[in-house]
Structures are given as C-alpha cells and as structure tokens.
C-alpha cells in the first residue's frame, strides 16, 4: 500500500511541477506574446503544424510580424516576469520531490 501511495504521489508531483514550470515560463515570456494564455496554445499548435508540414519560411514571416506587433502593443512588466522565473524554480523543486518519491517507491518492497 505504501509503495502505491509513493508512486501516485511521485506521478502527481511530477505532473504538477511540470505545469507550474510551464506556467512560469509563460509568465516569463508573456511580454513577447501579444496573445492571452489560450491564444498561446492556439499559436503553439499553429507553429507545430507549420513545422511538421515543412512551411518554415511562412512560419518565420508570421513570427517576425508577431514580434513587431508585440513591441508596439506591450511594455515590460518586470514583477510578472520575476514571478514567472520563481514559478519555474518552484516547478523544478516540485518535480524533484516527485523524483525522490519515485526513488523511494522503487526501493520499497511490496
């Protein structure tokens, strides 16, 4: 029973740490994105699709436009950027705790 609990906790913490780190990365780079959170997901899908369909030239043109548009729209928000950096570190720490639990579960006898 203890092994199952450790394995589940390790998986949950690994996932949670990844999500916190991803959100921190979003906050850290948000100043360069003219889109909200869901817009970023749509844009990521579009970038992925253009990469796998070998349309790199068109992708680069679109991204250059996005960079120009972003510089026009948004100003630096240093507290949010710093907050994002801390969330990345917190996410890594949570993932490390999950890894320690996974190791403990592997060493635990059934």
Q: What is the pLDDT of residue 55?
A: 85
pLDDT tens for the chain, 110 residues: list them: 788 888 888 888 888 888 888 888 877 777 666 667 677 778 778 888 888 898 888 888 877 777 666 665 555 666 666 677 778 888 888 999 999 888 888 888 76
**How wide is the angle at C-alpha 43 spanned by C-alphas 39 and 45, nearest 5°?**
120
Q: Domain range holding 57?
A: 2-107
The total of structural domains in the chain comes to 1
CA dist., res. 63 & res. 34, Å (int)? 11
């Amino acid at each position: 029973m203890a092994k199952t609990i450790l394995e589940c906790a390790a998986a949950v913490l690994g996932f949670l740490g990844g999500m916190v780190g991803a959100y921190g990365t979003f906050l850290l780079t948000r100043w360069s994105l003219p889109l909200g959170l869901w817009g970023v997901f749509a844009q990521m899908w579009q970038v992925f699709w253009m990469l796998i369909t070998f349309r790199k030239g068109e992708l680069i043109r679109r991204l250059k436009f996005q960079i120009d548009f972003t510089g026009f729209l948004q100003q630096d928000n240093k507290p949010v950027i710093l907050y994002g950096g801390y969330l990345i570190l917190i996410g890594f720490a949570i993932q490390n705790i999950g890894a320690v639990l996974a190791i403990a579960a592997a060493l635990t006898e059934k």
